[in-house]
Every structure is written in C-alpha cells, then in structure tokens.
C-alpha cells in the first residue's frame, strides 16, 4: 500500500507543489517517495523537487 500523496501524484489528483507541502508537513516521508520512485509512480525529477535531494538507487 502506498502513501496517499504518492498515489495522488501518480493519478494526477495532486500536483508536485501539493505533495511538497504534504512532505513539509510530514504527511509523506522520504521513504514513501522513494518507494514511489521504485514502483515508477514518482518521477526522479519530482522526487528531487519535493525532497531537495537526488534519488539514490539502493
């Protein structure tokens, strides 16, 4: 199960700025976003915009 904000971004229910705000309010974690990148639900460029960090593949 994915975080609501990851799913919302993937389904275009939310924009990157909306998810960034949710991230800043800790409604979405960096781990949630990384899981979204791994599942190809979040673009790496959006991950960087939201978190301010480059996505690091494990």
Cβ contact 9:16 at 8 Å: yes
Other Cβ atoms closer than 10 A to 20:
18
Say what angle helices 44-51 and 16-24 make with each other, to 10 degrees.
40
Q: What is the pTM of this model?
A: 0.93
- pLDDT at residue 11 tops 90: yes
- Report the length, in residues, of the chain: 58
Provide the pLDDT confidence category of residue 36 given band limits of 50, 70 and 90: very high
| Predicted local confidence at residue 57, as pLDDT | 84
Instruction: Determine the average pLDDT of the residues in 6-25.
Output: 98
């Amino acid at each position: 199960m994915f975080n609501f904000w990851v799913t919302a971004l993937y389904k275009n229910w939310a924009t990157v700025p909306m998810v960034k705000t949710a991230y800043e309010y800790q409604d979405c974690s960096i781990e949630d976003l990384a899981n979204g990148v791994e599942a190809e639900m979040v673009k790496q460029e959006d991950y960087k915009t939201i978190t301010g960090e480059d996505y690091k593949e494990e």
